[in-house]
Every structure is written in C-alpha cells, then in structure tokens.
Amino acid sequence: MLTGVPNELSDPGQVVIDHVFEPISHMRLLLSGWAIRVVTRRAAACSTVVLVVRVECEQVANGRARTRGAGMGETTDERGRGRGLALVVLPHLAAIGILTAVAIGVHDRLPDRVATHFDGGGTADGFLSREALLAMAVGTLVFQGLVLGVALWRGRGPMRRLTTALGAGLPVFTGTLLVTSLLVNVDVADPTDVRMPLWWLPLALSGGALAGLGAWRLAGADPRNRERQGRSPVLPLAPGESAVWSRHVGSRMMRIAALVVLAASVVSLAAGEWTPGLLGLLAAVLVGALASVRVTVDGSGLVVDLPLLPRPRLSVPLASVAEAEAVRVDAIGDFGGWGYRVRPGASGVVLRSGEALRVRRAGGRAFVVTVDDADTAAALLNGLAARRRGEGD
C-alpha cells in the first residue's frame, strides 16, 4: 500500500513510501499524471524505493513545468506570426481586388495591345494584350504574396518583423505601378504613344514605404530568437601538429535559378532583345559561380571562398574564434533565404538548409556556413583555437 502520496504533489521530495505492494496503486498514480516507477521490494529495500520515487517525481514535475513554459511561449509566438501573416496577406488581396476592379472598369476603353514597359524617360517600349497584362499583373501579386507569406510563416526571431514590413509595403508599391500601367493606356488608339508620368514612381515608393512602416509598428517587437543549440566538439592537437579540413558545398536552388535566368536570356537574345539578354546572361553566370563554395579550416582559422573566382573571400581568423559549433539551420526560417545573409548578431553563407558550422567570434557575433561534416570542422577549429590560447598563456 502507498501512503503519503496526494493526487497533486506540491513537494515531490517529501513523498514517503512505507510499502510498495499492490500494482493497482502504481496504475492509479500513472493515471493521475505522475510517472512514478514502483519497484516491488520487501521492507528492507524501502529506502531504495523512496530514493527512486523522489528523484523521478522531481524529474517529471520539472519536465511538466518546462513543457508548460514552452507551450505558452509557442502560443505567443504563433499569435505574433498570425498577426504578421494577416499584415502580409490582406494588402496583397486588396491590391489584387483593386487591380481587377480597375481592369474590368476600363477594359472596353483599352486598345487591343497595351503598353506594359517604359524606358527611363517614360516612353513605351514593351507591349502585351489586355488579357495578358491582367494575367501577368495578378500573377505577380499572387506569387509575391506566396513567397513573402511562406518566408514569414517559417521565419523566426529578427527576420519576422522585417518580412512583415516588406510584405505590407511591396503590394502597395507593385499594385500602384500596375494600376498606373492600366490607366495610362485608357482611350489610347496607338499604344506606342503612351507615356508613363515619372512622378508615379516616387508616389508608389512613398505609399509602399508608409505601408511598410505601419506594418512594422503593428507587428510589434520580434520574439526573442531561440537559437538552436549546437555541438562543440574539440579535437586535441599536440604542439607543432598540423591539420587541415576542407569541403565543397553547393546550392541546388541557386543552380536552378541560374539555369532559369540563362534560358530566359537565350530567349531574349534570340528575339533581338540585346540589353536584357546580355544582362540576364551576366546574372546567370554570377549566380552560377556563387552557387558553390569551398570551406576550409586550418591554422589560419576558417576560410570560405569560391572555387571558380578569386573574390569574394570570407574568413574568420583563428585569433577571433571563441567557439565553433555544429548546428542545423533552416535557410528561410533562420536567414530568410539563400546566399550571403546578414541578420542581427550573425552573418553567413547559407546555400541550403541542414547541417552547418557556426563560429562565435570573440566580439559576440556569429558566422554561419552550411556544410556537411560540420562536427569535424568544429572539432578541428576548437582544437586549433584552444592550442593557440594555450600557447599564449
């Protein structure tokens, strides 16, 4: 029989078991929410049973407290995320609605082909059908809203407020330009005569900036970034011992983007559009070159460079290394995308989600690079830094 065990344990350390005998008592305790391991022993082993019960009750009680605390934090976090999502989705829906209403209202007053692109002086130099313009405009807003919505939903910490501001400001800016593109074509017989008033651009920028600023204030403060815990292994090195670790890592997303831009450039060049074609070709080459990096750890510290280009070259000198960790990162959730990323307190080269090396500098900032076998890199970098500090003492 169990005595001295209330249904809600206010102080698990005070639980005393006189005898552990009937299995039904064990079941009753489990059903009331306390995972107490009951061991059937004789009275001579009673002290052992008391120790087991005391320790396990404390562990469960502390675990429940931690779970409650985490749950409340997650609820607050989800509420802030939902508010930010509304601040992104609603402006996009409003922009799509206004654009569609304007298009329906002026449809019969538009020429069959409308001016859709303008040079630096406001003269029309690109044309589409009325239906194609509307489809392109709505598609642009929908795609933009989806990208920003996903980035916001997966984002954490300091990225969320910025994403919310961008998500509210961009549809105002983009929507203003798209609606203006429709209005300047109204009652025009020849679309080549259409001119875009240049004052619409600062107006669109101002409207987008005001909407973004309002969303920034409404979004509230960013939640404290719950940084992922990492592993900090150390590889001991003897005095004079040398070791080098190196690994290549690439980004599938950036390679796909480079191929898409390259294909679009080829189409533009084939159509005789030399300026956008050549610019797109240059962009494709640059994106392709930046899609792969080489990560090296040696006696100088950490170096991240491009296999195909001599620059840029990023490094963390060994003297600046406070600690190296192997962590897992989410490209969108932690850094808002791929490539060279900067956020409060950290920067890095993020080419994919997954395993990464995080180096904490002596000044407190962190540098992150996504790479396989990050445990080995962290262990070697910690070993080199520890040996250097030991030699300096």
pLDDT digits (tens, 9 = 90+) for 4-30: 434 433 444 333 333 333 333 333 333
Confidence of residue 93 (pLDDT cuts 50, 70, 90): very high
Tokens representing 85 are: 């999502």
Supply the pLDDT for residue 279: 85
Note the pLDDT of residue 153.
73
- Distance (Å, rounded) from C-alpha 310 to C-alpha 198? 41
Amino acid code (one letter) for 373:
D
Per-residue pLDDT of 278-303, as tens digits, reads 888 888 888 888 888 999 999 889 99
DSSP 6-18: -SS-S-GGG---S
Q: What is the CB neighbour count within 10 angstroms for residue 257?
A: 17
The helix (run of H) or strand (run of E) holding residue 53 is: helix 46-106
Q: For the chain, what percent of residues have pLDDT higher than 70?
A: 75
What is the Rg, in whole angstroms, of the alpha carbon atoms belonging to the chain?
Answer: 31
Looking at domain 245-251+291-392, does it have CATH number 2.30.29.30? yes
If we measure between CA atoms, which residue out of 68, 66, 60, 3 comes closest to residue 33? 60
Give me the sign of the Cα torsion angle 261, 263, 269, 273. Answer: negative
Comparing 193-202, 217-226, 384-393, which segment has the lowest mean pLDDT? 217-226
> Which among 345, 362, 325, 340 has a CA at the least distance from the CA of 157?
345
Task: Give the pLDDT confidence of 17-71 residue by residue, as tens digits.
Answer: 333 333 333 333 333 333 333 333 333 333 333 333 333 333 333 333 333 333 3
pLDDT of res. 94 = 92
Query: Residue 62: enclosing H or E segment and its boundaries?
Result: helix 46-106
pLDDT grade, residue 223 (50/70/90)? low
pLDDT score for 154: 66
pTM metric for this prediction = 0.53
Return the higher-pLDDT residue of 125 and 72: 125
- Under 8 Å CB-to-CB from 11, ≥6 apart: which residues? none
Angle at which helix 46-106 crosses helix 158-183, to 10 degrees, equals 10
Encoded tokens for 84: 């930010």
Average of per-residue pLDDT values in the chain: 74
Sketch the domain layout of the chain as residue ranges. Answer: 12-69, 82-219, 245-251+291-392
- Cα dihedral 203, 208, 214, 219, rounded to 10, equals 180
Do residues 176 and 204 touch, judged by C-beta distance below 8 A? Answer: yes
Q: CA 356, CA 249: separation in Å to the nearest integer?
A: 10
> Of 40-49, 204-213, 355-364, which gets the smallest average pLDDT?
40-49
